[in-house]
A and B are shown apart, each in its own frame.
Chain A
């Protein structure tokens, strides 16, 4: 009982130190009842105030915080350094509203350069629209003629090609593509390699993202996805028919609709879930055919029939649900029930955060995640993610996310692509890297529960080796000049390096810009050893050991040794890169040094894992 009183006192903002006497251990019944009532009230107040996310303070919302959000949710984004500073000066909630949106274009996050005349930000930048544009002969289309056929709807791997280009093109929205990838390759995964064709997967992606951009409640987004031709092909319920009073059905999607889409595994009552909910969901999914024609193959829309559909009222998730004349109405109604189901309230928001941002969730973070989700009267994914991205649950020392191959490669290619001409020429295109690491966008590793995870990637020697060798043996992937599709190009890092803010391309300043651009940790891990190696590559055009002694290039330097060489290292850091040289040969040489520094940075351990603080 003393504990109860303590809680009451604490709830009232009092304590023994304030001179308040603690009650005796023995009290009359009324006092006990009052105390218990007050305790209950105090606990309720405590629970209410503890529900959901705590927003980061303005002091903690700084450039490092902005970069963390961009790295996690937008492959680093393409915002200028000035824009990143501007966001850091805004209150977190205002900044995040500008940074994370689902519209097809977000020109603060992905501003077109003065050279980008393709007008991507002005068009309806869905994957289908972009594919159509990049395959076309429109004057503004900067795709090399030799490359246009690769954007035809039946070209091999066209869905991946369009997504990759959309993600790294300026004038669009890498956050939209990041979430689109997670929805269609992980949460609601469909697979090009198991019968889902390119038109189906592109429509699937666009309709999910358009629903999100239209601020549709999340259950309506999921219902829309469940009604797609892509899902009908993936799971085979397009053959589900109600015939002669029986369901000629497979239960594949009837189960996955609950488990994958909403996070309902049936723990509420396994027997009822198995023998009633799933059975009846299979009936909901009857008469959803996908028309076929010899000329076009399978259509990208489902035809909702009534002939083989069973309508009526069925018990699903232990509630009566009206199943309308077609499966579409049934799914819409069921989704309204499912989103409010206790299991979904517990599991779905955790699945979202674990999938996108945190491989190290603990009970406290899970409590906050669930609390915030539950507190939203209408489940809106964008508002949820915006709140999370500015919360202490996200900007947290315990948060950790291992990058998948796609995360890492898209971060590299997005940060290395300075304008849409480079994207059109396929410079730094990650196709080779994705393939080497056994990954294909829209063909997830696991048919049902999605693509390669960060846990898969971090333990894979093949993934490490591939990344390492792209920076070393395969450094041709990162050339600074050459020819692509008959068009010459030459990299100029002045596009991302501001002369004034880097003190005329000073090595130490340039190093920091590059580290932040690719690692995005606010220089937390850019220690003396990292600086020594990067400075050597930039200032001397050599590896650290060779820069110290050309006759002993295999020598290993520890951090302690590097600190002893601080005078030398500092002198390298004070040097300047002649990126604006009048000599084209010299310009190429210094740009090459910058690229070598990037190759080094993207092969460090910090490229494989991101931290919350």
Chain B
């Protein structure tokens, strides 16, 4: 380094040489010419993970029928307590009529929970794909099944925490980045380590947990502030990290921290500059402000971060976005617990609907959403007005590019016979690999087999073909 290289020049050199970003996605700061919301020219995956094992059979129920031997009766009888109903067919019928939009598709009669009204809008528009009987792991263990879902790797055992996530593998395959809207990036985001299949790297990950406060403190240059205590420590640290970023070996234990500092410093200023001309829409602010329209304001903040990240998608080189929403472990009082959460996400003028309504058309149409949880729940309620851990579940894929429909048997008749068995669940028939792999193929042709190399050998429900999903 020449004797008088200052930090800005130093930073530019780092960006130009790709020191920070290795072989992953490169930031496009130098070519960023947009003063406001940047155009979105490529498809972006929005992965929303529901933590805790969401009972999506509560969201999408079979039509009630009075025939006591039918699936439509057996379901409501076995689920009466979780719906907060007495054992009375008239109550099942009333609940079916009052709480669900009635839908029909290919001879299947089902309902969409009315508090998730925006989902019906999507369905009516032909933009919602419902994948039935999907699963990743069968242990019914939160930690293990969450790990398998994040990693998209059904071969991972309970101690295989370090492996890459499928979002990270996809982004790496596309030469782009995963942007995590969450407090901390999910394992879903981490890319593959070329030297170790059991390790991962965060080279392709950008954590945008607070897009409106992204940059690091830098002391002002006025004379009064210049020699303050905080200024002297801040200058020292900035200089120290700048040097470390070129000196510290890639395998060093502190390297991840040094890289994180570089990312925050690099993207922070560029994002702040961009967002200075992109005000947060009032509708978005309402999702997380004091009088939030959502029960979970943290989810509102994630949606704000997503809005901002889309506005800066050129800077971030974002092709994958990661969001999550927790609290779906509904062992007790399921109805009271789950419907508000579903409403936060899928309600009209709530979470995702609000985000979509405020986005420019190109950004909105670029999004492919995948919503999944680590496992489904049992098909007979427990003694506590809830449901216990199961295996199979629905996965929802939606967006303007998605061709809606039902993939798999929403209500397998075989479940009726199992209702009286201990711990009856929705059988896992279709591996996540097939669902997510198809999404990957849409984002980049051929990527599905790279991201999910075991896909061809994984279970797929008979008659299901994801070829027409997009």
Contacts and interface: CB of A to CB of B under 8 A. Distances in A.
Contacts of A239: 332, 383-384
Interface of B: 1, 3-7, 10, 51-52, 138-144, 158-159, 161, 183-185, 187, 189-190, 202, 205-210, 214, 216-217, 219, 226-227, 229-237, 239-240, 242-244, 246-248, 253-258, 260-261, 263-264, 326-327, 329, 331-332, 382-384, 386, 388-389, 421-423
Interface of A: 235-236, 239-241, 247-252, 255, 259, 265-267, 270, 274-276, 278-279, 347, 350, 354, 361, 366, 400, 438, 446-449, 452, 455-465, 468-469, 471-475, 525, 529-530, 533, 536-537, 541-546, 552-559, 561, 592, 596, 599-600, 603-606, 608-609, 611
Nearest to B139: A265
A270 B139 contact: yes
B257 A465 contact: no
Nearest to B214: A461
A249 B6 contact: no
B51, B140, B248: which has the most chain A beta carbons within 10 Å?
B140
A115 to B, nearest CB: 27
A502 to B, nearest CB: 22
Given A266-B139, A475-B230, A561 B207 contact: no
Contacts of A267: 139
Contacts of A474: 230
5 contacts: A447-B329, A461-B260, A464-B257, A536-B236, A556-B7
Contacts of A608: 254, 257
B233 A599 contact: yes
B232 A596 contact: yes
Nearest to B210: A462
B140 A609 contact: no
B4 A460 contact: no
A9 B329 CA distance: 58
A255 B425 CA distance: 15
Contact of B388 (A250, A447, A457, A533): A250
A177 to B, nearest CB: 24
Shortest 6 CB-CB contacts between residues of A and residues of B: A605-B254, A248-B383, A605-B257, A543-B236, A473-B217, A460-B184
B219 to A, nearest CB: 8
Given A456-B184, A462-B209, A235 B52 contact: no
A377 to B, nearest CB: 25
Contact of B257 (A250, A350, A609): A609
Contacts of B138: 270
B7 A554 contact: yes
Contacts of B236: 533, 536-537, 543-545, 600
A555 B244 CA distance: 14
A489 B121 CA distance: 63
B243 A556 contact: yes
B207 A462 contact: yes
Nearest to B254: A605
B140 A605 contact: no
Nearest to A275: B422
A464 B207 CA distance: 11
A235, A347, A438, A545: which has the most chain B beta carbons within 10 Å?
A545
A559 B247 contact: yes
A361 B327 contact: no
Contacts of B202: 459
B10, B206, B230, B247: which has the most chain A beta carbons within 10 Å?
B230
Contacts of B214: 461
Nearest to B198: A362
Contacts of A252: 329, 331-332, 388
Contact of A606 (B3, B205, B210, B254): B254
